[in-house]
C-alpha cells in the first residue's frame, strides 16, 4: 500500500481546518473548523489537532500507513527547521515541540511554519500569486499578519522571525498594540483594532450594531462587520475607512522598500469584505508608493479564501521533498 496522501492543516486560535490531498495534489476531502480553547493546555490543543487528523483519515478512508507527510500553518513565531512553536499569542505554546508529538502519533514526517507565511506561500504556488517572483502579503483577521516571497522563495529571515508586517509602526502616537508597541498597523487595521475604535465610539454615545457583535476578547466575526456595512452603520464604516487608510500606508511602504511584483491582501476580513477593502486601499495607495515604482506593482485579493494556508502547507511538503531530491 503506497504512501501517497498528504494531510494539510490550518491551526488557529479557535479552530483547526484540515484537508487530504492525493498523490496528484487533488483535494480529496476536508474537515471544517473544530473549536480550540484559548485557555486550554498545550496537550489539549495537540489533542484537537490529532482528532482532526484522525477524522480526515476516516473521511478519506485511508490508513496511517498511507500518509506521506503532514504539514501545518501555526500562528506565532515558528522554528520550521526543528518543528518547534517558539511563541504564539492565542495558544498556550512556548518553545513547544509540536513536531515530535505529531510524528509519534502518526508515524509520518511533520512540517510546520508561521500561518501567514504559509498562506502567502499557498497563494504564490496555487493562488493569486502564481507567476510572480516577489510578493508582499497582508492577511487581515484577528491581527494583521504578513508574508514575503523574494526571488521565488519564502523569506523567513533570521531565526524565522520575518514577515511581521502587522507590526510596522504607522503612527508612533497611535493606540497600544498587543505586541507592546504603539501605533502598529495591527492596532488600526485588524479586527481587534477596528473593534477598539468601534467600542470607543459607542462609549462616546454613538450607536452601532457592532456593539453586540464584539466578544469579551475584543474580536468579532467578519460576517457581522459585513452586515453592519450593508446596514450603513456609520461607526463600522469609519472603522473600515481607518483600517484601509493604514493598510494603504503599510502597503505603500513595503512597495517602496521591496519593489515587489504584487501585493496580496487575504484573511477572513478580506474574504468577507474584499471588494470594499480593495476599493478603499486602491483609492489611497498611490499617495504612499513612489510614482516610479507603483505602476509595476499589481494589487490583488487572495484567491484561495480559507484554504490559503492549506495549500501553503501542501507547498511546504513539496518543497521539502524537492530539497531531499537535490
Domain architecture of the chain: domains with CATH: 5-119+307-325 (3.30.420.40), 132-302 (3.30.420.40)
pLDDT band (50, 70, 90) for residue 42: low
Look at the alpha carbons of 293, 296, 302, 304 in this order and tell me if their dihedral is positive or negative.
negative
Q: Answer for the pair 238, 246: CB distance below 8 angstroms, yes or no.
A: no
86 forms beta bridges with none
- Span 93-110, average pLDDT: 92
Whole-number pLDDT of residue 41: 58
Average pLDDT, the chain: 92
Dist. CA 281–CA 243, nearest whole Å: 9
Give me the torsion for CA of 87, 93, 98, 101, rounded to 10°: 160
pLDDT(325) > 60: no
Q: Answer for the pair 197, 238: CB distance below 8 angstroms, yes or no.
A: yes
Whole-number pLDDT of residue 1: 46
- Span 49-56, average pLDDT: 93
pLDDT band (50, 70, 90) for residue 38: low
Dist. CA 217–CA 38, nearest whole Å: 10
Whole-number pLDDT of residue 48: 86
pLDDT(2) > 70: no
- Span 204-213, average pLDDT: 97
Instruction: Choose the weakest-confidence range: 2-11, 81-90, 152-161, 268-277.
Output: 81-90
Look at the alpha carbons of 297, 301, 304, 34 in this order and tell me if their dihedral is positive or negative.
positive
The H or E element that residue 99 is part of is helix 98-106
pLDDT(150) > 90: yes
- Span 71-91, average pLDDT: 87
How far lies 186's CA from each of 50, 117, 144, 145, 189, in Å? 31, 16, 5, 8, 5
- Span 46-73, average pLDDT: 94
pLDDT(176) > 70: yes
Whole-number pLDDT of residue 312: 97
Amino acid at each position: 500500500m503506497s504512501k501517497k496522501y498528504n494531510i494539510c492543516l490550518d491551526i488557529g486560535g479557535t479552530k483547526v481546518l484540515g484537508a487530504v490531498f492525493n498523490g496528484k495534489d487533488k483535494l480529496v476531502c476536508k474537515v471544517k473548523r473544530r473549536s480550540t480553547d484559548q485557555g486550554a493546555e498545550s496537550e489539549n490543543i495537540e489533542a484537537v489537532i490529532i482528532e482532526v487528523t484522525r477524522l480526515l483519515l476516516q473521511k478519506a478512508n485511508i490508513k496511517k500507513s498511507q500518509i506521506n507527510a503532514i504539514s501545518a500553518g501555526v500562528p506565532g513565531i515558528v522554528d520550521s527547521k526543528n518543528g518547534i512553536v517558539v511563541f504564539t499569542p492565542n495558544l498556550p505554546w512556548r518553545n513547544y515541540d509540536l513536531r515530535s508529538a505529531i510524528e509519534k502519533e502518526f508515524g509520518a514526517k511533520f512540517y510546520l511554519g508561521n500561518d501567514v507565511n504559509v498562506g502567502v506561500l499557498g497563494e504564490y504556488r496555487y493562488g493569486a500569486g502564481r507567476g510572480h517572483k516577489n510578493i508582499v502579503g497582508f492577511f487581515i483577521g484577528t491581527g494583521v499578519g504578513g508574508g514575503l516571497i523574494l526571488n521565488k522563495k519564502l523569506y523567513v529571515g533570521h531565526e524565522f522571525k520575518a514577515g511581521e508586517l502587522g507590526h510596522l509602526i504607522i503612527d508612533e502616537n497611535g493606540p497600544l498594540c498587543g505586541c507592546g508597541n504603539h501605533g502598529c498597523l495591527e492596532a488600526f487595521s485588524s479586527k481587534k483594532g477596528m473593534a477598539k475604535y468601534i467600542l470607543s465610539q459607542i462609549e462616546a454615545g454613538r450607536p452601532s450594531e457592532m456593539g453586540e457583535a464584539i466578544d469579551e476578547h475584543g474580536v468579532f466575526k467578519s460576517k457581522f462587520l459585513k452586515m453592519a456595512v450593508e446596514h450603513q452603520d456609520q461607526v463600522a464604516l469609519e472603522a473600515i475607512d481607518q483600517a484601509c487608510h493604514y493598510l494603504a500606508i503599510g502597503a505603500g511602504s513595503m512597495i517602496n522598500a521591496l519593489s515587489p511584483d504584487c501585493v496580496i491582501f487575504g484573511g477572513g476580513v478580506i474574504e468577507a469584505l474584499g471588494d470594499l477593502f480593495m476599493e478603499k486601499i486602491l483609492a489611497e495607495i498611490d499617495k504612499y508608493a513612489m510614482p516610479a515604482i507603483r505602476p509595476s506593482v499589481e494589487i490583488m485579493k487572495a484567491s484561495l479564501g480559507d484554504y490559503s494556508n492549506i495549500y501553503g502547507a501542501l507547498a511546504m511538503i513539496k518543497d521539502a521533498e524537492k530539497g531531499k531530491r537535490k
